[in-house]
Amino acid sequence: MAFAIVSLLCSAWAGAADQDSDGVVLYVVDPFVEMHTAPGRGYPVFHVIEKGEPVEILKRKTNWYKVRTPAGEEGWTKAAQLGRTLAPTGIPADLPEVGHGEYLESSWRVGFTAGQFEDSTSFSLTLGYRPLSWAGVEVEAGKIYNQSVTSDYYSANVIIEPFQQWDITPYALAGVSRFSFDARQKILLSEIGDADAVNFGGGASYYIGRNFLVRAEYRVYSVSSNSDTTGLSEWKIGLNTFF
């Protein structure tokens, strides 16, 4: 389903389940926006607003918006189809109210984490892609350091997040990692420079508003080099944004 266009949705809309707006006019930039006869997935599509046409936002009801075309036709479109818009000035519009459900349906997310890897401070940047609402993949690049430990690491993980209806959404993950230790790190892992690892973990995400959520996570690593295997653990907390 094509995504289309929304802008300047007043913060007053966020608090109400069904509330009139001031008739904000936006311009469609995606190929089309579908208009339904009523606010619900089961109601039929009776009209399509094409790219470049103006659309007037009349009111919101949960995740649906009532809109009006220049010809006077009125109908309902899903909030997900109004994820991007242009104001009459040509400036990209602000997003409408987005809930945790939209996060789980969104394809891309980026984030930053900070935590503790054994006795060392850790930081990382993450990039994730979610082809399904309940499953996704994520790559991560991070740094571990303190006075006695320094390491760069890279991870690729599969994330399973099945409980979409909860405000706090638990998830499980599994993946592989690559560590690049400097000389100081050898106090933990004897006589190695680089090491591979498999990791397993779990955590929870909590939607805090707009396009942001906080995330807390715990992982265990099985780090291998030559014939040696060492178990390590990490906890972290971070901020994610989705689009």
Across the chain, what does the average pLDDT equal? 79
* Residue 163 banded pLDDT, cuts 50, 70, 90: confident
Statement: residue 106 has pLDDT above 70 = no
Mean pLDDT value of segment 131-152 = 88
Could you read off the pLDDT of 40-82 as tens digits, one per residue? 777 889 998 888 888 888 887 767 888 898 888 999 988 777 7
When mean pLDDT is compared across 10-14, 113-117, 125-129, 163-167, the lowest value belongs to 10-14
Name the residue with higher pLDDT: 9 or 167.
167
Mean pLDDT value of segment 134-147 = 92
Query: Would you say the CATH fold of 104-242 matches that of 11-96?
Result: no
Could you read off the pLDDT of 167-176 as tens digits, one per residue? 789 999 999 9
Name the residue with higher pLDDT: 27 or 44.
44
Mean pLDDT value of segment 2-29 = 47
Six-digit token pair at 64?
A: 């649906």
- The rounded distance, in Å, linking the Cα atoms of 12 and 9 is 8
Residue 40, SS3 per DSSP? coil
Cβ neighbours of residue 219 closer than 8 Å, sequence gap 6 or more = 173, 199, 200, 201, 233, 234, 235, 236
- CATH fold group of domain 104-242: Porin (2.40.160)
- The pLDDT value recorded for residue 4 is 41
Could you read off the pLDDT of 185-243 as tens digits, one per residue? 455 555 557 889 999 999 999 888 767 889 999 999 999 877 788 899 999 999 998 87
Statement: residue 21 has pLDDT above 60 = no
- CATH fold group of domain 11-96: SH3 type barrels. (2.30.30)
* DSSP for 131-193, written as a single string: EETTEEEEEEEEEEESSS-EEEEEEEEEEE---TTSSEEEEEEEEEEEEEE-GGGGGTSTT-S
Name the residue with higher pLDDT: 43 or 139.
139
Q: pLDDT > 70: what percent of the chain?
A: 74
Break the chain into its structural domains and give their ranges.
11-96, 104-242
